[in-house]
Structure 1
Amino acid sequence: MSAWDRVLKARDKDRPLPLDYIAALFTDFTEFKGDRLYGDDQAVVSGLAFYKGRAVTVIAITRGRDIEENIVRNFGSPNPEGYRKALRMMKASEKFRRPVIMLIDTKGAGCAVEAEERGQGEAIARCLYESATLKVPMISFITGEGGSGGALALASTDEVYMLENAVYSILSPEGFSSILYKDSKRAKEASEIMKITSDDLLDLGIIEGIVKEYDDINENFLKVYEDMNRILTDFMENTGKLEIEELLERRYQRFRAFGKVMWQPE
């Protein structure tokens, strides 16, 4: 498929949402709300759960199923209080030594004036800053769209995986084409040069792996779940053997390696 075909697949209204994966992968999920500063942002769903008997923290950015739910969840575009809620959960995980699992499906952070007034940039930057040295294992799955800093705020983890038809980009193809071509209608053309597909990002070393969708993700959701389950099991076992200092060093080296990928002088 072309990159644009993958974009359309990632945006499919019938595609499973992060909440579907939470229900399949974890037991006894208990949602925690609010950022203890402004309010609750329902574009970000976070809470405690058990994974094979082990307590974990689960954080997801999700859109809605229909127009009513999308309005409640701001179409999957978090406001600052959503990122601050996520950060609150991350810090609590560090205190109680719980691994953190992130599930991401967002076009990007909310860009309304009110979001900027409440410190959108600082909230995202704080998530990135704290993630770098969080003393617990962290893993992210991009299940649909992974747009811009809105997605990166919850994808600065020890390992990142993408579903086969997910996309992960610095901004939407429409936004990219508006800047590059001064024409948002050339989004399809822009998507082909942005390197946003799971195959592109695996080749570049930005992600650790791809979760297959077996042609139709809805018909084969059980197979997708089994593959994600296997990745999570391996991640828990492998990181559970590491000392904190080794975990942080590996995370540091992972992000340092990106500079070599992106900066390749002649």
Structure 2
Amino acid sequence: MADKTPAQRVALARHAGRPGTADYIAALFTDFFECRGDRQCREDASILGGVALYHGRPVTVVGHRKGRDLSENLKCNFGMPGPEGYRKAQRLFRQAEKFGRPVITFVDTPGAYPGLEAEARGQGEAIASCLSLLSTLEVPVLCVITGEGGSGGALALAVANRVLMLENAVYSVLSPEGFASILWKDAGRSGEAAEVMKLTAADLLSLGVIHEILPEPEGGAHLDPAAAFATVDRALSRHLRQVEREGHFAARRYETFRRIGS
């Protein structure tokens, strides 16, 4: 699929039928026990997380959730978490470290919710605390970018020892529409923006932002989810073994992010 333009990959990353976090959890993990609530304010359905077994071993799994239809989209705020979602993620990360469980995250969000009420309840602090906590966890952290990876809302779950990215996923500081609106005052130039933003998996691998590109079925992961699940499963198993052999999880995570752009 090397012939796909960045704009086409953005469209595929946003495809309504593309497998999401709930689908990967159902396909790759067993005995999933969902944990809800941030113990401060409320439950945020746009972050799905809990404890599960991965090939028979306990892990903590957390990811963005957009929903499948309009009803679920509204319930999950179209995959845009508020501070409660990020505080729930922090609760799960701390629990994982306490019990020595690897953390596996799935990223698929246009970005954190930018509404006034989210800011009033501490959106910026919640995201920053996620970044800080993930940076220091002394357990393995693996991240898979499955669809959109937008801004700090995505990075909050992506400070990992290994960042893997599906072939047609995108990962950037903001959306192409937002980029075009800011730079050219014209959101209609989003296709042009996608060309210059370096948001594709190939771009990000060359820049050292991600560790591996995971190939998708021809036409996109939504056309053959089972094949996409198998690819992700093999990559996660392999990288988890490698990370555990290396040890010094927080120190190596720090080194990984310090090397970006060097």
TM-score range, shorter chain: over 0.9
1:71-220 superposed matches below 5 A:
71-216=74-219, 217-220=221-224
Tell me the secondary structure at the aligned position of residue 91 of structure 1.
helix
Counterpart-to-counterpart distance in 1, 2:239 and 2:142 = 8
The structure whose RCO (Cα within 8 Å, separation 6+) is larger is 2
Q: Structure 1 unaligned runs (5+)?
A: 261-266
Tell me the secondary structure at the aligned position of residue 138 of structure 2.
coil
Match of 2:44 among 38, 41, 45: 41
Quote the residue 1:241 is aligned against. Answer: 245
Counterpart-to-counterpart distance in 2, 1:188 and 1:240 = 41
Asked if 1:230 corresponds to 2:250, the answer is no
Tell me the secondary structure at the aligned position of residue 196 of structure 2.
coil
Which range is displaced more, 71-80 or 209-218? Answer: 209-218
Tell me the secondary structure at the aligned position of residue 42 of structure 2.
coil
After superposition, the C-alpha distances for 1:103-159 in whole angstroms (9 at most, x for unaligned) are 111000001100000010000000001111111100111111000000000001111
Which range is displaced more, 86-95 or 8-17? Answer: 8-17
Q: 1:259 Cα deviation (Å)?
A: 4.2
Contact residue 161 and residue 243 of structure 2 kept, 8 A? no
Counterpart-to-counterpart distance in 1, 2:154 and 2:123 = 13
Amino acid at match of 2:251: E
Match of 1:19 among 22, 32, 37: 22
Quote the residue 1:263 is aligned against. Answer: none
Q: Structure 2 unaligned runs (5+)?
A: none
| Identity in percent | 51
Tell me the secondary structure at the aligned position of residue 218 of structure 1.
helix
After superposition, the C-alpha distances for 1:167-199 in whole angstroms (9 at most, x for unaligned) are 000000111111110111111111100000011
Tell me the secondary structure at the aligned position of residue 260 of structure 2.
helix
Q: 1:249 Cα deviation (Å)?
A: 1.9
Counterpart-to-counterpart distance in 1, 2:130 and 2:112 = 13
Amino acid at match of 2:30: T
Q: 1:212 Cα deviation (Å)?
A: 0.8
Quote the residue 1:255 is aligned against. Answer: 257
Counterpart-to-counterpart distance in 1, 2:224 and 2:214 = 12
Match of 2:33 among 30, 35, 50: 30
Amino acid at match of 1:224: A
Tell me the secondary structure at the aligned position of residue 35 of structure 1.
coil
Which range is displaced more, 203-212 or 72-81? Answer: 203-212
TM-score (norm 2): 0.96
Tell me the secondary structure at the aligned position of residue 47 of structure 1.
strand
